[in-house]
Amino acid sequence: MKKFYRVLAGCSLALLLAACSNSTSGEPKKAEKKTAEKPKVEEKFNKVVPVEDLEDRDYGGLTFKWAGPFRQIDPNASEVKEKWLERIQALEKKWNFKFEPVEIPYDSMVGDYIRTTLAGDPVGDIVYVHAFNYYPAFPANGIAYPVSDLNVVDFDNPKWVQSARRTSEYKGKTYSVRPGTMETVIVRDGIWWNKTQFQNLGLPNLYDIYEKGEWTWDKLFEVAEAATKDLDNDGKTDVFGLGADRLAFDLIYNNGAEAIKKTADGVDVDLNDPKIVEALEYFQKVNKDHKGVFLQPKEEGGPVNVRDDFRDGRVLMVAQDWWVSTSDLNGGRMKDEYGFIPFPAGPSNEHPEQPVSVGADDSMEIMLGTAEKPKEKLEIWDEITNIGTAKDWDRWTREEYEVGANDAESVEYAMLMHKNVKTNLIYGFGELNGIVNKLFKDIATGATTVQTGLEAVDPQIKAALKDFHDNGVDLGVSEEEIQKTKEELKKKKEEGK
């Protein structure tokens, strides 16, 4: 595993206190002082009680089913998985229960969760699910259990993936109990940049720009223009400055707004928020003034694969998730040196010292809604995942980021962004998502102004929200399917006797 020295001293004290300039005028906004702080996480979670020192409990041979794809724990894969498997096995003996991984094919897992939960015999107790499958359908229809109601888990424990916790919240209740035992990396969109080609073309070092507090929206597109090249003078662009397939949302979230907000009643969408309007106006501006810097669809049609084009040097900056590093870049797949920095904060972002990383998805571990003995099973889950202190989890998280990183700076920025990862939940609302994405397309092409477009879609958005609040979300499962599942489950139980 690569080890990087922390050359940024925590991303530089100046950056954290004054942050990057978040206005095109160059005036940086300073971080506000916190008036009250919770006890430090490191102090609260500074020890792990060994299994032999835990109180004795007898769960009567209860079977705890952990279901989903990739449910095998390889103790040779990492220190985390080795410790996790050891604790599971020791607790099985001490507390008299059976931990049973249940492998479910990726393509069928969502349907299996829904049918078996509604049939009253869920395929698993704790299961893996994507945010866009989960939200809002699972909590709104009782497919997921509100584990915060059980008062078992301390959600501040750093073993829990906090982005998944926030994503899972619905009507004030928490549903996700995803530990870092499978994976701690959660950072989504940031800017990957080709350090080798930047140097060859005489382009500025993006780390220097960021550290000086000059990393703004305007600077991003200024650099993208300079990076866009016709190398053989044939009138066609050979190298593009930027690849960004979720640019509108990146601008919105990094301007301190959110496309969809949670409320006591569910959700709300207000695209007339001044921060969103400002982001969309900038989105239209760059699509007009800097259209040539964007990687365009390939000749054969279909979507652009910005990851491949960044890896191969056809685009020199790309706004993409951190996982791109391990799926497309590291291990010699990208020949050039590469780096990673936050997407620039917008002019109305009040906290530029804490960059936002927004993604279209997050993964969660949830309890299915009709699991038997939910409190007992949550107690087991809570204890078998107690494998490290706050400092351990910080170290393990850093080590995971080091696997995909190409330099020390990327790790430091990833650790900084790790604290503020957000999921754009609009992808789970089919009709709303379609309305919003059509609006963005019309804004990008100039088919409408921002204001006219917002006025046109406002009644559509309100109607879609009303329909959701009045009628909920259709799970796509019929009563006949549920009854069939009940019969199949009953037959399996009888055959197993």
Q: What tens digit of pLDDT does each residue of 246-266 get?
A: 999 999 999 999 999 998 888
Residue type at 122? P
| pLDDT mean across residues, the chain | 89
Q: How far is CA 391 from CA 48, 82, 88, 258, 403, in A?
A: 11, 18, 21, 31, 19
Q: What is d(CA 400, CA 397) in angstroms, rounded to the nearest whole number?
A: 5
Judge whether 111 and 138 are in contact, CB under 8 Å.
no
Residue 314 is given by DSSP the state: S
- Assign 479 a pLDDT band (cuts: 50, 70, 90): confident
pLDDT of residue 103: 97
Q: What is d(CA 482, CA 475) in angstroms, rounded to the nearest whole number?
A: 12
For the residues 469-484, what does the mean pLDDT come to?
81
Q: What is d(CA 246, CA 235) in angstroms, rounded to the nearest whole number?
A: 28
Residue type at 16? L
Residue 291 is given by DSSP the state: G
- Assign 17 a pLDDT band (cuts: 50, 70, 90): very low
Q: What is d(CA 299, CA 310) in angstroms, rounded to the nearest whole number?
A: 18
User: pLDDT tens digits, residue range 96-118?
Assistant: 999 999 999 999 999 999 999 99
Q: Give the pairing type, strands 62-68 and 97-103.
A: parallel
Segment among 103-107, 240-244, 291-295, 355-359 with least mean pLDDT: 291-295
For the residues 176-189, what does the mean pLDDT come to?
91
Residue 35 has pLDDT above 60, yes or no: no
The reported pTM is 0.88
- Termini Cα distance of the chain: 48
For the residues 332-344, what does the mean pLDDT come to?
96
Alpha helical stretches, state H, 298-429:
306-311, 324, 374-384, 390-404, 408-417
For the residues 393-415, what does the mean pLDDT come to?
96
- Assign 27 a pLDDT band (cuts: 50, 70, 90): very low
- Assign 476 a pLDDT band (cuts: 50, 70, 90): confident
User: pLDDT tens digits, residue range 410-433?
Assistant: 999 999 999 999 999 998 898 999
Q: Which two tokens stand for residue 319?
A: 């706004």
Residue 37 has pLDDT above 60, yes or no: no
Conformational region of residue 178, where left means phi above 0, alpha means psi within -120 to 50, and beta covers everything else: beta
pLDDT of residue 20: 39
Judge whether 271 and 457 are in contact, CB under 8 Å.
yes
Segment among 7-21, 122-136, 195-209 with least mean pLDDT: 7-21
Q: What is d(CA 346, CA 22) in angstroms, rounded to the nearest whole number?
A: 5
Q: What is d(CA 184, CA 201) in angstroms, rounded to the nearest whole number?
A: 36
Q: What is d(CA 186, CA 164) in angstroms, rounded to the nearest whole number?
A: 9
For the residues 337-350, what does the mean pLDDT come to?
97
For the residues 128-138, what does the mean pLDDT come to?
94
